[in-house]
Amino acid sequence: MSNIVWHQHSVDQAARAKLKGQNPVLLWFTGLSGAGKSTLAGALERALFEAGFHTYLLDGDNVRHGLCKDLGFSVADRDENLRRVGEVAKLMVDAGLVVLSAFISPTREERDSIRERFPEGQFIEVHVSTPLSICEQRDPKGLYVKARRGEISNFTGISSPYEAPLSAELTIDTSKGDLSSQVSALIDYLTAIGVINSSRLTASA
């Protein structure tokens, strides 16, 4: 690595962000399987996209079809999966995008490690805090049933712990309220911190 030097190009993040009319960030949706991370992130991306913002959604299952298809579900492989996602997200934020990621990411250490790669204010942790009992009732992939039977080892929330964030920027329980109000709360936050201009959202409504 001693012979590898980062090349600073003439077009930087600030220039890309100005062209897009937004301030790039990474929204990191974390929570149990079935908590509603992907649904919430997808609905937010749709609202931003329809208002003309430049976004990209990184989803836990989707990245395992390509970027991380060589990885399993051991502790080491799950760590590497998140490391790769963090690096890709960093490149996308540098490209001026509003990036949304939906991953269980069960440990604070994993999430903090990704946060440390970003300047202050560019990593927004969204804790999707839907209770385990609700997640089990939903069980969209049938994983909780298999985990309870012992067919899946190291399953977060059953045989492996989930460490809830201590100071997430936002906390949303998808079992309370509707999806529209939850997306509105996210948009209000992004507007308040200057990531997006609410006038564009109003114009697109």
Cα 110 to chain centroid distance, Å, stands at 13
* Binding-site positions: 31-38
In whole angstroms, what is the distance from residue 73 CA to residue 93 CA? 27
In whole angstroms, what is the distance from residue 72 CA to residue 178 CA? 35
In whole angstroms, what is the distance from residue 76 CA to residue 70 CA? 12
Q: Give the number of other CB atoms < 10 A from CB of residue 194.
A: 11
DSSP 7: -
Q: Is 2 exposed, middle or buried (0-12, 13-18, 19+ CB in 10 A)?
A: exposed
| Lowest-pLDDT range of 1-10, 13-22, 39-48, 82-91 | 1-10
Cα–Cα distances (Å) from 90 to 61, 84, 125, in that order, read 19, 10, 15
Instruction: Check residue 130 and give its pLDDT.
Output: 97
Average pLDDT over residues 25-43: 96
Instruction: Check residue 205 and give its pLDDT.
Output: 53
* 148-180 per-position pLDDT tens digit: 999 988 899 999 999 999 999 999 999 999 999
Look over the chain and give the mean of its residue pLDDT values, rounded to a whole number.
90
101 contacts 89 by C-beta, under 8 angstroms: yes
Strands of the sheet with 170-172, listed across from one edge? 55-59, 98-102, 25-30, 123-128, 170-172
137 contacts 146 by C-beta, under 8 angstroms: no
| Lowest-pLDDT range of 48-62, 97-111, 174-188 | 48-62
**Catalytic site includes residue 167:** no
Residues above pLDDT 90, as percent of the chain:
71
Q: Which of 2, 10, 101, 105 is catalytic?
A: 105
Dihedral angle computed from the Cα positions of residues 4, 6, 7 and 10, in that order, rounded to the nearest 10 degrees:
180
Q: For residue 74, how many C-alpha atoms fall within 13 Å in the half-sphere facing its CB?
A: 5
Instruction: Check residue 162 and give its pLDDT.
Output: 95
* Binding-site positions for ATP: 31-38
Enumerate the β-bridge partners of residue 56.
Answer: 99
* 1-12 per-position pLDDT tens digit: 567 766 677 788
CATH topology of domain 14-200: Rossmann fold (3.40.50)
Using the predicted structure, report yes or no on whether residue 198 has a pLDDT greater than 80: no
* 40-80 per-position pLDDT tens digit: 999 999 999 999 999 999 987 787 888 888 888 778 888 88
Residues above pLDDT 70, as percent of the chain:
95
